[in-house]
Structure 1
Amino acid sequence: MASSCHKSLPIIVLLLLLAAAAAAAAVTVPVASAAAGNDTTFRPGEELRRFRRIKAHLKRLNKPSLKTIQSPDGDLIDCVQAHLQPAFDHPILKGTKPLEPPERPRGHNPDAMSDDVFQLWRSSGETCPDGTVPIRRTKEEDILRASSVKRFGRKPAVTMRHDSESNGHEHAVGYVVGDQYYGAKASLNVWAPKVMSPSEFSLSQVWVISGSFGTDLNTIEAGWQVSPQLYGDNSPRFFTYWTTDAYQATGCYNLLCSGFIQTNSMIAIGAAISPISTLDGGQFDISLLVWKDPNHGNWWLELGSGTLVGYWPSFLFSHLSEHASMVQFGGEIVNTQPQGQHTATQMGSGHYADEGFGRASYFRNLQVVDWDNSLVPVPNLRVLADHPGCYDIQGGINGVWGNYFYYGGPGRKDDDRCS
């Protein structure tokens, strides 16, 4: 969250004040808080240190680019040489380059979706040169929206459980557990759910999970999300995530730390998705495949019609260095209980599962990758909604969609169904 002085003072004036304060003895100056309307305390030494931390972090994240593309939504997409992306700041990866693509799982038939223009930044027809990867530029205001520089790009530390909600996180999911899994695949439609508070989000994703549901939880995640705090708007965006300690100190969204290695020059992780589904109208879905390369052990991500996005190196993980023990598909929101009531943040389309095609969100053609690197239909799919009065789920099987489910909901409304 931005401090009150950033809100009430122009940045040039602020920097002059900080510079003067650094040379003089530390003082406190009362300034009006634009957010709360109350007096607070201006501590120039602390503000200067924070400003320096932000600038240093921006320098680490925003690598030199060969080309920059302006997106219609205001994003700047930097075309960065693949071997200079943030992942290669990791000591183990320094001086190396991205790996060649692995063999796909057997039985994999890519969906017919075209990836040529599925993100807003590509609408002008511009692309990044071969040998580069498109990276959404991080701006100062992005970091200022976070609770701290250290927590920027990370989910709040939570103890994730598949049998109930945790720390304000609510789910409507289908899942399989009890075997060894080496990947997962699904298609899901994309919406723009309303998110009521900057500190809340709404997402739909695939989770590949191992470890206990304690501090040793390992996850790999990919899908779409609306997160005003992370991105500064309410657009659905393609994202990735990983953690090896239940979101505490490891992992991040997208390319905001050393972790995921991107290999694709056409897709910008964290960029807005376009088009999206419309109520009682056209449905736009994306297909995601995550699987473990049986030769090198890395976890690869494919999007749509056979487009490899990149991979998570095996050394990032403890339990997932071997295999997953659970796969989960579905939606998640954060409920901060504004005004002491359940949030009205929507999940998926904002409509309940029983409204069906064209109105509810869905996952279809759910599959997992088995020990033999083969894609097989999800066995014994279970469905669970933490708070079914707010967000529910209904599963089924048919010949066209295979294993599928509808899910989502509006959160709190005036009908008392969600309270």
Structure 2
Amino acid sequence: MLIYQRNVLPILLVLYLLLSNDGVQGEMKLSKLEELSLEKQLKLLNKPAVKTIKAKWGDTYDCVDFYKQPAFDHLLLKNHNFHPEMKPTLSMKKQIPSNSTIDISGTWLETDGCPSGTVPIKRITKDDLIRQRRMPPSEDTNFIHEETGGFRRAIVKTPDNASNKFAGAGMVASLWNPSVEGAQNSACRLKIQKGQDSVQVGWRVDPTLYGDTKTRFFIHFQAGNKHCYNTLCPGFVVTNNRLVLDTVFKDVAHRGANTNWELVMSIDRDANGNWWLLVDERMEVGFWPQKIFTALSNDFAENIEWGGSIYSPPGVPYPPMGSGFLPKTPDPFLDAYCRALTFSNDKGEKMNAKNTPIFLDSQVLYHVIDKPDWEYVKGAHQHIMFYGGPNED
């Protein structure tokens, strides 16, 4: 009877939290037992702070000792040899030029960042924990073709081939703020995958994850059956003491305006098999250690995706993607895009991605126009793809 009670009580608590939730902001009435349970979880997640920084968009970040950050709660990282001055050992033999209108180092924190030897980690709140219980399953297990609900993609990808060997990929994405409600989300991301393992980076509007409808920087990984956003669970090792995950991009594109706001990003495998996240081409944010993966542990990636992804709960109409309009006569000032699409081969050579089939989960709601040889500026060509929907001009 005692064993039965131990198994049932946590389930009942989860059910209560789900059924009692009044909205995506996590407003609900909690019993003393539930309050204590959440407080205990918060103490485990929020590490001691050397310094606390209030970001200009309102979130609180704790400057946590590098060695005490959440990543090292992962069972496979207990006996690591990582250190704060780590840099990726990348052998990139060709760089793809890009001209971002976002000064990435100036969008994060108003101060000088965290002291040397510490890294900024977003402080988790009670509302964050409550909303997490309403997060949908991972993309990789939830791309189902239902009448309504689930994830939908509008992407270009590498050809399906079991012999593919990719050591990384990159892109420059235009920043938008598609309108979503409730448990919907809308994102643009670069995704690298092999088997059940994958890593992603990009921007997303996600009230369930963030508690607001702002455009934010995000990362995601899946290792086998486990998946996680940002630093909400152990896995991603933060190395940069100035750049933060979850940042809000206050400058986003508006249809018909003559200014593009962009984010430059890449994921690259180093000589030790770790998968590094870089922004503005060579600015390291951190890495996913090869130890936490199986398929991506000591091997190269097999698939790459560039483009948009949305989610809607069953029975709820699908939200806008990108600019919210279907690209017809592609125009960088009207349509969402990903440009400078690149990949690195198993020798570390960075190349323009050219053979990229289009993939659409819904050919009615969302469209993709792929231009492998777009003249971005006079005389300079690069790969660009336009995506979006569901509205029409």
TM more than 0.5: yes
The match for 1:376 among 342, 348, 351 is 351
Counterpart CA distance in 2 for 1:111 and 1:104 is 19
Offset at 1:401? 4.8
Counterpart CA distance in 2 for 1:62 and 1:163 is 35
Over 3 Å counting, the alpha-carbon distance change for 1:112 and 1:364 in structure 2 is closer
Partner of 1:118: 107
Partner of 1:243: 222
Offset at 1:91? 3.4
The answer to whether the aligner puts 1:360 opposite 2:335 as a matched pair is: yes
| Local SS of the residue matching 1:309 | strand
Counterpart CA distance in 2 for 1:97 and 1:139 is 28
Aligned ranges 1:110-259 → 2 under 5 Å: 111-113=98-100, 114-119=103-108, 122=109, 124-147=110-133, 155-157=136-138, 159-160=140-141, 168-177=150-159, 178=161, 179-197=164-182, 199-211=183-195, 217-245=196-224, 248=225, 250-259=226-235
The match for 2:285 among 292, 296, 309 is 309
Aligned ranges 1:81-120 → 2 under 5 Å: 81-94=65-78, 96-98=81-83, 99-109=86-96, 111-113=98-100, 114-119=103-108
**Matched residue type, 2:355:** N
| Local SS of the residue matching 1:182 | strand
Offset at 1:160? 4.7
TM-score relative to the length of structure 1: 0.77
| Local SS of the residue matching 2:77 | coil
The answer to whether the aligner puts 1:335 opposite 2:309 as a matched pair is: no
**Matched residue type, 1:252:** C
Query: Is the 8 Å Cα contact of residues 96 and 340 (structure 2) preserved in structure 1?
Result: no
Instruction: Flag the structure with more relative contact order, 1 or 2, with Cα contacts below 8 A and sequence separation at least 6.
Output: 2
Counterpart CA distance in 1 for 2:154 and 2:243 is 28
Query: Is the 8 Å Cα contact of residues 181 and 207 (structure 2) preserved in structure 1?
Result: no
Counterpart CA distance in 2 for 1:158 and 1:208 is 13
| Local SS of the residue matching 2:302 | strand
Over 3 Å counting, the alpha-carbon distance change for 1:85 and 1:53 in structure 2 is same
Offset at 1:315? 1.2
The answer to whether the aligner puts 1:407 opposite 2:381 as a matched pair is: no
Query: Is the 8 Å Cα contact of residues 238 and 270 (structure 1) preserved in structure 2?
Result: yes
Over 3 Å counting, the alpha-carbon distance change for 1:277 and 1:240 in structure 2 is same
Offset at 1:162? 8.1
**Matched residue type, 1:101:** P
Query: Is the 8 Å Cα contact of residues 339 and 384 (structure 2) preserved in structure 1?
Result: yes
**Matched residue type, 1:296:** N
TM-score relative to the length of structure 2: 0.82
Q: Which runs of 5+ in 2 are unaligned?
A: 1-19, 24-28
Partner of 2:262: 285
Counterpart CA distance in 1 for 2:21 and 2:124 is 25
The answer to whether the aligner puts 1:62 opposite 2:46 as a matched pair is: yes
Counterpart CA distance in 1 for 2:48 and 2:21 is 36
Counterpart CA distance in 1 for 2:192 and 2:349 is 16
Query: Is the 8 Å Cα contact of residues 182 and 368 (structure 1) preserved in structure 2?
Result: yes
Q: Deviations over 1:47-66 (max 9, x none)?
A: 44432332222112211112
Q: Which piece of structure 1 moves more, 68-77 or 229-238?
A: 68-77
Q: Which piece of structure 1 moves more, 346-355 or 231-240?
A: 346-355
Query: Is the 8 Å Cα contact of residues 110 and 304 (structure 1) preserved in structure 2?
Result: no
**Matched residue type, 1:84:** K
Q: Percent identity?
A: 28
Partner of 1:16: none
The answer to whether the aligner puts 1:351 opposite 2:331 as a matched pair is: no
Offset at 1:164? 6.1
Q: Report the RMSD for the aligned CA atoms in angstroms.
A: 2.6
